[in-house]
Structure 1
């Protein structure tokens, strides 16, 4: 993570870090060629059968999963059996025809090609990480802690005693409402707090973060919730939340974006449709898996299955089963176009993922083609407006950072660029530099020495 007191500049293909990019790109092309050569050589020994069986098995597995999730009774049981039988049948086929070696070589070559390609892109033009700024030590920090979050992490890690030993005043939550929490934060500011912090889940974080941004105060994140997605994308140590408290004695600031949905702040995601409906269910907290299996058939293909529409800047999406709006786009994977983390939190853009899958064929298409499928759209935007599909009025179930609520339509999501000053410790084990997008054209250009940095101003 670069700081302003370090060298100012972005590594390019001409720097030491980028010198190995052409070689890695060539290795990727050689590995891909090796996979193709192996396939051609093994034509008479089952090479095409390996590829065809693998793709067919993937399609059948996706169809089985769809039937299992979207239906009840005998169809659900049949779908489960199909989802289990598909990969087993592929393995049996390979064993019967003695195609293990061919399959392993093809998978190995293709895996090596992807690994070399990603390494080449990283070295050639690594995108700069979020820039950190030197920050003074807070003199009157106030931390709000939720003792119930994360199964009692506040007590288990001794966060109260540790924070007080570092000079912070700790406010322990005890059955407060959302408005009470916001008032607690504002009261702390009125009493002279020069930093606001939260030890709790992402929903609690967002409410206090809104006050910190409003008052232009630094904000401290202590990952004491269950999943702590925001902390993960900041690079904080989720396994040991006490390490975040080190920022109280010496840290740096990141200027990150803060999302807003119909007047409420969010730090991670706003979900509409299937997921939001499930979270609204009274039994969700006590039995998540059971509630999902019970509700999904009605939400996906039932006669009254809700459909939502969204205007993503100038793009109109209709008849969707689910829309996910994120504070900055999530990373991309080859399969579904949704990674498990956001490479940056300061791009000034919302990420949007919209899903519509009506049958097993469309489910298989999404698995095989990802964001190129008609059932899955991945976009970025400055503004997203969500409503019910046929232009109806009323309220929509919405999950804001995992917190369920009913919100009048239209529901508008926007972003406040770099509005939140997040204080973080110098040592953050989860920091990872963003990876530029991989493409065949870019890889070939790198392999043959035609770098692309000039076109991007690098």
Structure 2
């Protein structure tokens, strides 16, 4: 289906979503929408109070969070209009999806790649516990060895210095470094590969595989990633670096392929009790952290943007898609030369509600991009989560982007090469649906 008809479908579905409410519910449709918005607002406020209160106040907040949407559903059902609302929501969701699809260019340019010869001495590090045992399940060691790779399998009972293991492989003549493991292990080895100018290979054997997803790799079958050893292409991608200025000198602490987080999440994960009882630890710590009664008070500088007292900060190696209001989906590119910066600063239930209803337009969410981001605090050392690894870093912490620093070897044919998803613009969708038809008929598009 071409873009013209996709745009027409989007407009048709959006119009139908409104007509269903107006024609069936009449003027009551205004009341239906108002009731729904109030229900969402009360549920959002209740959720905020659940996170920031304790004892009987938290219990009341739980009741409000659950009761608000239930009351809305009961009111819709009593009016005999529940099916109308659900149908309208489905039509609107389809309209939004079709509208975004229509705005995607027919041939969206991806990250440029170049053909390369197979490596002579590839060296792969594999973590047998990553992803619930994917290394063994997909016979990755045997398949990689059959393709000529030297494989080092980590011993979970005897922790090893993964970066030093990779450096030793380089000293022994390895001409490619690869990892089958989590994003944290990948980042460590990627830093060594970039340091020596060697290609780096990702095998999607981790749990979430965020980096592999953004490279377009198959996350369901990590064995397909091994095709990069025989029929691969090379991408030049950016690499995030973290520096600290402690003790009067700058020192590099870590590199990151995905992101570095600071604030609430990093503090909770750092707690010794988190591993044993995640839910209880989160609920116990969040009230003080979110209301600034405990934890570090952060300040952020990213280019011309300054942010004081955010509850959480996420610095990513390239920005996340704009269509994801939480900013935690996927990245359109890994070679834009910019860090993505997302700061959350919510002071009360009203701001929490606005953030839920308006997404990136809410006052509690700040997004920008920059080549360098500085995170400072009112204490000398702060917790940080770097590609899922919990660290303590001296302040100030500087995050910089090393553009094109990493040579990544990927299979020539990979299933998940991302397409850019532009923000939805109904004006553009309407013009696309109308003007393309005129151009096809030979008329001036103006």
Q: In structure 2, what is the equivalent of residue 98 of structure 1?
A: 80
Q: 1:65 to 1:295 in 2, by over 3 A?
A: same
Q: 1:337 to 1:226 in 2, by over 3 A?
A: closer
Match of 2:291 among 289, 292, 301: 301
1:354-433 equivalence runs, <5 A: 354-388=343-377, 392-433=378-419
Structure 1 residue matching 2:309: 3-state secondary structure: strand
Shift in Å, 1:393: 4.7
Shift in Å, 1:315: 0.8
Shift in Å, 1:305: 4.5
Q: In structure 2, what is the equivalent of residue 6 of structure 1?
A: none
Q: In structure 2, what is the equivalent of residue 286 of structure 1?
A: 276
2:199 and 2:409 in contact (8 A); partners too:
yes
Q: In structure 2, what is the equivalent of residue 10 of structure 1?
A: none
Structure 1 residue matching 2:4: 3-state secondary structure: helix
Q: Which digits, 9 at most, give the CA deviation of each residue in 1:167-216, with x for residues without a partner?
A: 11112233345xx3222211111111010011111111111101111211
Q: Which digits, 9 at most, give the CA deviation of each residue in 1:427-456, with x for residues without a partner?
A: 3222231222322332233233289xxxxx
2: CA distance, partners of 1:366 / 1:126 = 34
Q: 1:36 to 1:73 in 2, by over 3 A?
A: same
* Count of residues in Structure 1 that have an aligned counterpart in Structure 2: 426
Which consecutive residues of structure 1, in runs of 5 or more, have no partner in the other structure?
1-16, 452-458
Structure 2 residue matching 1:448: 3-state secondary structure: helix
Is 1:343 aligned to 2:332, yes or no?
yes
Structure 2 residue matching 1:106: 3-state secondary structure: helix
Q: Structure 2 length as normaliser, TM-score? A: 0.90
Q: Which digits, 9 at most, give the CA deviation of each residue in 1:35-61, with x for residues without a partner?
A: 334444456462112211211111111
Structure 1 residue matching 2:213: 3-state secondary structure: helix
Shift in Å, 1:23: 3.3
1:244 and 1:425 in contact (8 A); partners too:
yes
Deviates more, 1:338-347 or 1:125-134: 125-134
Shift in Å, 1:96: 0.3
Q: 1:73 to 1:393 in 2, by over 3 A?
A: closer
1:125 and 1:436 in contact (8 A); partners too:
no
Shift in Å, 1:252: 1.4
Q: In structure 1, what is the equivalent of residue 109 of structure 2?
A: 128
1:337 and 1:378 in contact (8 A); partners too:
no
Is 1:52 aligned to 2:34, yes or no?
yes
Is 1:166 aligned to 2:147, yes or no?
yes
Q: Structure 1 length as normaliser, TM-score? A: 0.88
2: CA distance, partners of 1:68 / 1:117 = 36
Deviates more, 1:337-346 or 1:272-281: 337-346
Q: 1:140 to 1:308 in 2, by over 3 A?
A: same
Q: 1:147 to 1:105 in 2, by over 3 A?
A: closer
Q: Which digits, 9 at most, give the CA deviation of each residue in 1:132-186, with x for residues without a partner?
A: 2212111100111223323333233322222111111112233345xx3222211
Q: In structure 2, what is the equivalent of residue 218 of structure 1?
A: 199
Q: In structure 2, what is the equivalent of residue 227 of structure 1?
A: 208
1: CA distance, partners of 2:107 / 2:368 = 22
Q: 1:205 to 1:32 in 2, by over 3 A?
A: same
Q: Which digits, 9 at most, give the CA deviation of each residue in 1:214-238, with x for residues without a partner?
A: 2111111112222221112112222
Match of 2:44 among 62, 71, 87: 62
Shift in Å, 1:386: 0.5
Q: In structure 2, what is the equivalent of residue 188 of structure 1?
A: 169
Which consecutive residues of structure 2, in runs of 5 or more, have no partner in the other structure?
244-251, 438-446
Structure 2 residue matching 1:449: 3-state secondary structure: helix
1:126 and 1:434 in contact (8 A); partners too:
no
Provide the alpha-carbon RMSD of the alignment. 2.1
Shift in Å, 1:106: 2.4
Structure 1 residue matching 2:50: 3-state secondary structure: helix
Q: In structure 2, what is the equivalent of residue 265 of structure 1?
A: 255
1:127 and 1:435 in contact (8 A); partners too:
no
Structure 2 residue matching 1:320: 3-state secondary structure: coil
Is 1:154 aligned to 2:135, yes or no?
yes
Structure 2 residue matching 1:192: 3-state secondary structure: coil
